[in-house]
Amino acid sequence: METTTHVLGHVDGSSVVSNSGTKVICSVSGPMEPKSRQELPTQLALEIIVKPAEGVQSTREKLMEDQIRSVLTPVLARYLHPRQFVQICLQVLEAGESRDYTVKEVSVCVNAAVLALVDAGVPLLSMCSGTCIGITTEGKQLVVNPTESQLAKCESVHVYCLELGTNENGDIDVRNLLLLDSLGSFDESQLFKVLETGEKECIRLYTELRSVIKDKVAKDFVWRQ
Amino acid sequence: MTESIDIHPIVFPPEVLARISPDISLQRHLSLETRPCSRGFEEFRDVAINDGNISRYSTNCQNATTNNIIGSSLLRSGKTFVITSITGGIIEETLPANNTEDVGEEELMKLSEDTDRLCENSTIYPVVEVQRGRVGGPTDEEMITSEKLYKTLLHSGILKKTALAVSCGIRRTEEDGSVTTIYSDELLDEEKKINEANNRKWSYVLYAKIQVFSRNGPIYDLCWNSLISALKTVQLPRAFLDERAADLKIAIRTRGRSMTIRETYDILCDPHKSLPLKLNEGELCYGSNYGIIDIEPLAQLAKNDDEMDVDKPTSVLLADIETEAEESSILSTLSLTTNKNGQFKAATIIGGDSKITPEMIKRCIFLSKQRSKDIESKV
């Protein structure tokens, strides 16, 4: 996974994340004043916009937005900003998959959004990371982060996002399963294998994201030393 | 000067509490080991499915001549009704210009199948409408449900492209003026060449209009079950060309080049004859949904003092989410689409607040297999 943060000047936070052929640029604006219909009396309102690599938004992007929203909502400390609003805009630069799939885009979007939220300084309760997994038709092998051609050969495809944190002792703490979205043909044992493999991969991505953020904070706050 | 003020606790009747504070209302219900809809924790709503007598091929159809619905289903689950009506169209497939023989095509299909699993799957174009007594553009929920239905069906392999291929017939006009239509599977050998001369290919496309009435819970599973039962009733009308289209060629010569012009005739649908849509029956599966919610100790109703609640579970699993209280307070949800043997076609697990443990997923899988078996027996 390759990441860059603070790439856009006119928004509060931004990031570019690319992973095996999928590349997403994300911007975060807020917390700011919402339009009256978006305002929530006790919590931070969230708007997520996904723009596809080709063409205009369709129902396909609406479904992606809904999935990303369900991942990010529990991670944000929404009670800290009542009647406020955060806009997260995700532009897919390279889809890395055909229009019939969204798994790679969703998983990269989640990682990009988390980095951009950290860049914008929006308070989070924990971190999250997302990955995609395919199970091949022949051999029933699990492929983590499949390429476009591998994805087309998969019998089932899965997006997996995990809520993670680090406890006082410095150990990685798996807090909850945020999203598992599976499509295709699979059975119970394969589902649990996906949960197992996904957890390992998400923890790996989490440590990667954490080191990126550590470097970023060290750089951003160099004036405090 | 000083007046004593009596403070009375405000007591709301249950229906008012449910409206102003659905989360507390739900917690109170859970502490009584029941739910706002007065079902048990793992109890589903009753489901009734029939074809609703909407399709032109329904047994009691009154308007078969004007009705263009070719498959339908009426699903009732609790108070919610889901009506699915399937209509269709025919599109001509674009073939390579020099496609003179058909022999290699099957091999080509097989070859591309190895590299792209979805190329042989087909799907349906669904439009979901939740009736709320107002007009306007589709809501996010409607768009998301439609897209999910489309994608799940595409990836499931329930509907194959071969099932939607049109086997085109020929309409002939005899010398005495009588008109007959002959289909390729009814043809005599010498007549087959009429069909072969015509190397155009068509396929059916299916559209589904799914209307949800009295929505009071998540709708995806209801829509999916309704869509599958509607697809099972689909009859594809037979289609034919006029014989003149099949063999009429006019040779012309312009500027020294010779070419042929074939008169174009539209493909027509037979008003009487139809074939059932062939679904991949072994792959059929049905959906169900679950919610997981933490028990809030503070919101519990007071218990008798002698009652010890040490080994009370901290979270509960609720099957088939219904009512606004449950839908707005339960953020951890599971939606599983499976058959009775545990072969999945789709699964969505969202962990909003309560922790989802593997044991809970296992329990949901067990319940969804039973639910699927029950629905299968009713479709």
What digits encode the pLDDT tens for the residues B33-51?
Answer: 889 888 889 999 999 999 8
The whole domain housing A144 covers 2-224
List, for chain A, all residue ranges whose pLDDT scores fall below the cut of 50: none
A193 touches chain B (CB under 8 A): no
- Between positions 39 and 98 of A, the ones with CB within 8 A of B are 59-60, 62-63, 66, 70, 73-74
- B358 to A183: CB separation less than 8 angstroms, yes or no: no
Closest CA to A113 of A135, A91, A136, A144: A91
Interchain contact A155–B (C-beta under 8 A): yes
Q: Is residue B291 classed as helix, strand or coil in its secondary structure?
A: strand
Q: Between A170 and B364, where is the model more confident?
A: B364
Residue B170 scores a pLDDT above 90 = no
Same domain membership, residue B221 and residue B346: no
From chain A, the residues in CB contact with B160 under 8 A are none
Nearest CA in chain A to B349: A180
Q: What is the mean pLDDT of residues B68-92?
A: 93
Q: How confident is the model at residue B118 (pLDDT cuts 50, 70, 90)?
A: confident
Residue entry with tokens 């072994």: B282
The predicted model gives B288-316 an average pLDDT of 73
- The answer to whether the Cβ–Cβ distance between B347 and A181 falls below 8 Å is yes
List the structure tokens of B91: 């599109």
A185, B116: Cβ pair inside 8 Å? Answer: no
Same domain, yes or no, for B330 and B256? no
Between chains, do B347 and A184 touch, taking CB under 8 Å as contact? no
pLDDT in tens, B142-166: 999 999 999 999 999 999 988 998 8
Is residue B111 predicted with pLDDT exceeding 70? no
Closest CA to A164 of A107, A117, A210: A210
Is residue B62, in this structure, part of any structural domain at all? yes
- What distance lies between CA A163 and its chain's CA centroid? 11
CATH number at residue B108: 3.30.230.70
Whole-number pLDDT of residue A122: 94
Instruction: Let me know if residue B98 belongs to a domain.
Output: yes
Whether residue B247 sits in one domain with residue B173: yes
pLDDT in tens, B247-281: 556 666 777 777 766 666 678 888 888 899 999 88
- Is B144 in the same domain as B190? no
Closest CA to A90 of A49, A124, A130: A49
Q: What is the C-alpha to C-alpha distance for residues A161 and B41, in angstroms, rounded to an integer?
A: 28
State pTM to two decimals: 0.90
A192 and chain B: CB distance < 8 Å anywhere?
A: yes
Distance CA B69, CA B270 (A): 14
Contact A177 B349 (CB under 8 A): yes
- DSSP per residue, B138-203: PPHHHHHHHHHHHHHHHHHTSSBGGGGB---EEEEE-TTS-EEEE-GGG--HHHHHHHHT----EE
Phi-psi region of B255 (alpha: psi -120 to 50; beta: other; left: phi over 0): left
Claim to verify: residue B123 and residue B60 sit in the same structural domain: yes
d(CA B168, CA B180): 14
The structure tokens 């069909």 sit at B195
Interface predicted TM-score (ipTM) of this complex, two decimals: 0.94
CA distance B236 to B141: 30
- Min Cα distance A219 → chain B (Å) is 34
Question: Does the structure show a pLDDT above 90 at B180?
Answer: no
User: Of B152, B283, B356, which is closest to A183 when you measure between CB atoms?
Assistant: B152
Is residue B125 classed exposed, middle or buried when 0-12, 13-18 and 19+ CB atoms within 10 A define those classes?
middle
| Rounded Cα distance, A101 and A157, in Å | 9
For residue A149, the chain B residues in CB contact (below 8 A) are 115
pLDDT of residue B304: 58
Q: Cα separation of B238 and B274, whole Å?
A: 5
Q: Reduced to 3 states, what is the DSSP secondary structure of residue B84?
A: strand
> Does B101 have pLDDT greater than 60?
no
Domain match, B18 and B154 both: no
Question: Measured between alpha carbons, how far is B58 from B66 in angstroms, rounded to an integer?
Answer: 13
Q: Which long-range contacts (CB under 8 A, 24 or more apart) does A218-223 make?
A: none
Examine the domain organization and report whether B192 and B228 are in the same domain.
no
Question: Which of A218, A9, A213 minimizes the C-alpha distance to A114?
Answer: A213
What is the pLDDT averaged over residues B52-78? 88
Instruction: Give the pLDDT score at B186.
Output: 64
Domain count for chain B = 3
Do B97 and B206 belong to one domain?
yes
* pLDDT value of residue B303: 61
Percentage of chain B lying above the pLDDT 70 cut: 82
The tally of domains found in chain A comes to 1
pLDDT digits (tens, 9 = 90+) for A93-130: 999 899 999 999 999 999 999 999 999 999 999 999 99
Spatial distance between the Cα atoms of B191 and B102, rounded to a whole number of angstroms: 18
Whole-angstrom Cα distance, residue B308 to residue B305?
8
Q: What percent of chain B clears pLDDT 90, i.e. is strictly above it?
A: 41
**B225 or B178: which carries more pLDDT confidence?**
B225
Q: Which domain holds residue B300?
A: 14-43+286-378
Tokens of B124: 């349906």
Domain contains B313: yes
Average pLDDT over residues B65-78: 91
Q: Which CATH number fits the domain that encloses residue A46?
A: 3.30.230.70
Domain co-membership, B136 together with B192: no
Note whether A163 contacts B351, CB cutoff 8 Å: yes
Q: Is B379 helix (H, G, I), strand (E, B) or coil?
A: coil
Chain B positions contacting chain A at CB under 8 Å are 114-118, 140, 143-144, 146-148, 150-152, 154-157, 283, 331, 342-353, 355-356, 358, 361-362, 365
Chain A: give the shortest CA distance to residue B258, in Å: 43
On whether both B184 and B227 belong to a single domain, the answer is: no
Containing B331, the helix (H) or strand (E) segment is: none
Per-residue pLDDT, B213: 95
